Amino acid sequence: MQAINLIISLNPEVIDITKLSLQVSGTSVILAAIVGIPIGVLIGLNEFPFKRTLRNLINTLMGLPPVVLGLFVFLMISRAGPLGTFGILFTPTAMIVAQFLLVTPIIMGLSIAAASAVDRVVIDTAISLGARKLDTMRLVINEARPALITAVIAGFGRAIAEVGAVMIVGGDIRWNTRVLTTSIMLETRKGQYDLAIALGIVLLAMSFFINFLVSYLQGRRK
């Protein structure tokens, strides 16, 4: 099989594409986790007016079609757009921004659910033992850790597998902004099935590895 050969021979283009995919999705997910987890936990722990509305909004954003988000980011950062002066259109930075916006609601929404699921008695016990707001939040993050890890992984799965947003704002430029999903699309359309299959195998292997990692991490917590 030609496809297998491409992987085993460490074809430089396959490696480059894989690296960029990991960089873009990894960076956007880390940033999304830094923003999404604390805010999600804060929302989950507190009662305030319009909390339900906010949760509905976040849930809606969780299912946002990547192409629509890509279009929105494109309009913002294109030359004529309000953020056009940064000149990041068709760069990996633009792709990170788009995936960050795509993944943050997912991580946030799942973090809200994770924090809400923590037993109320745990929180009251901590407060009674002298915990302040920030201490309570830290404890809740610790209590909800398995669910939060799952949230981050789900976000990464979404980022690495989406094609619409990175295609629009990245432009699928060879050796520059081409990632696994966009090149699979391109190679398939060109009839280069071997390369497409090779890239597909890499993508699948990554998903498999991530799932394995999750179950390992969760299994380790006795």
Q: Using CB under 8 A as the criterion, which residues of the chain lie in contact with another protein when the complex forms?
A: 119, 121-122, 124-132, 135, 139, 142-143, 145, 221-222
- Nearest-angstrom CA–CA distance, 23 and 36: 19
Q: How far is the CB of 168 from another protein (least distance, A)?
A: 42
Q: Give residue 157's Cα distance to chain centre.
A: 6
Smallest separation, CB 39 to another protein (Å): 22
Q: Which is nearer to another protein, 12 or 47 (CB)?
A: 47
Give, in order, the Cα–Cα distances in Å from 166 to each of 43, 67, 156, 171, 176. 30, 9, 14, 7, 12
Cβ distance to another protein smaller for residue 32 or 139: 139
Least distance CB 27 / another protein (angstroms): 30
Q: Which is nearer to another protein, 55 or 145 (CB)?
A: 145
H helix and E strand count, the chain: 11, 0
Q: In a 10 Å sphere around its CB, with 0-12 CB exposed, 13-18 middle and 19+ buried, how is residue 104 labelled?
A: buried
CA distance linking residue 37 with residue 23, whole number of Å: 21
* Nearer residue to another protein within complex by CB, 139 or 159: 139
Least separation, in Å, of the C-beta of 142 and another protein?
Answer: 7
Tell the smallest beta-carbon distance from residue 144 to another protein (Å): 9
Pick between residue 35 and residue 127 the one whose CB is nearest to another protein.
127
**Dihedral (C-alpha) 71, 75, 78, 84: value to the nearest 10 degrees?**
-140
Quote helix, strand, coil % in the chain, to nearest 5: 80, 0, 20
Is residue 150 a contact partner of residue 157, using CB atoms and an 8 Å limit? no
**Closer by beta carbon to another protein, 84 or else 146:** 146
The minimum distance between CB 216 and another protein, in angstroms, equals 17
